[in-house]
Amino acid sequence: MPSPKNAMEIFQYLDKSNCRECGHKTCLAFAGAVFTGQRKISDCPKLPKHIIRRFSVKEAGNIIEQNRDEYLADLKKEISRIDLAEAAKRIEARFADNKLTLKVLGKDFSVDTNGQLYTDIHVNPWVAVPFLNYVLHGKGLPVSGNWKSFRELTEGKARYPLFQKRCEAVIKRVADTYTELFDDMVHLFNGRKVAEQFESDISVVLHPLPRLPLMVCYWLPEDGLDSSLNLFFDETADRNLDIGSIFSLGAGLAQMLTKLAQRHGYTPDP
């Protein structure tokens, strides 16, 4: 079987019972995670082995790159089928003129009842996908103030190696070379420097989504040890957003910060 062209091609083979045994709330969400390379089709225990064998799913990173735009189109269609005003109440977003609006990194980000996106910032698919999943499935739980690493979140452990490679390692390389990075996070992305956490040298809290704060902690090189950088999430994060979307937010942030540094003439070490 050739690689699927969109999440719906995977969805058609699933049980469609939304039983949640795979850790996703719906079979469609699971199909999206398979399509973007964050889950394997074999992670659905209800799928017959002959179907699993027919899928030739490629390595995760390639699929993410190739298919994210198609997945975004599927999510937009899903938005057009829900009651957006009710969704706005659930996640405490604004709703006016048929548009749901909330803040992404301090800037207004909206979607209308047809799934059309509006924002003052460049629409990065890495951010648009989590935004739409937050609108579709977010519980709107209040932030607890207790931080967890990505690997401590539900389903985070298995995905952490890829998260470390695509998010934390990338942002660390930027931070190592672009010294204004943390000031830019504050001024451009409405971040907030907080007292050093986990004995880090710099800690900045960002809000890629209103109830999904993300804390970047950076440790400077010391005594022959290399610098290090980790991202932390509120302990409610995995209930306010699916783990694939949390992954995507981290990857999107890494991409945005890399471009920002490059615009200022800095070239992060490979």
Complex with ligand SF4: residue 13 or 182, whichever CB lies closer: 13
**Smallest separation (angstroms) from ligand SF4 to the CB of 207:** 30
d(CA 127, CA 114): 19
Through-space distance between the first and last CA atoms of the chain, rounded to whole angstroms: 36
Complex with ligand SF4: residue 45 or 270, whichever CB lies closer: 45
List residues binding ligand SF4 (CB under 6 A): 14-15, 17-22, 24, 27, 30, 44-46
**Smallest separation (angstroms) from ligand SF4 to the CB of 193:** 41
Contact 161, 251 (CB under 8 A): no
d(CA 142, CA 148): 15
**Smallest separation (angstroms) from ligand SF4 to the CB of 99:** 31
- State phi, psi for 149 to the nearest 5 degrees: -75, 165
**Smallest separation (angstroms) from ligand SF4 to the CB of 137:** 13
Complex with ligand SF4: residue 31 or 256, whichever CB lies closer: 31
Complex with ligand SF4: residue 24 or 207, whichever CB lies closer: 24
**Smallest separation (angstroms) from ligand SF4 to the CB of 51:** 11
Contact 126, 65 (CB under 8 A): no
Q: Any alpha helices (H) in the chain, and if so which ranges?
A: 7-11, 27-35, 49-54, 60-80, 84-91, 125-137, 156-163, 169-177, 181-188, 237-240, 243-263
Helix (H) / strand (E) element for 215: namely strand 212-219
Complex with ligand SF4: residue 46 or 58, whichever CB lies closer: 46
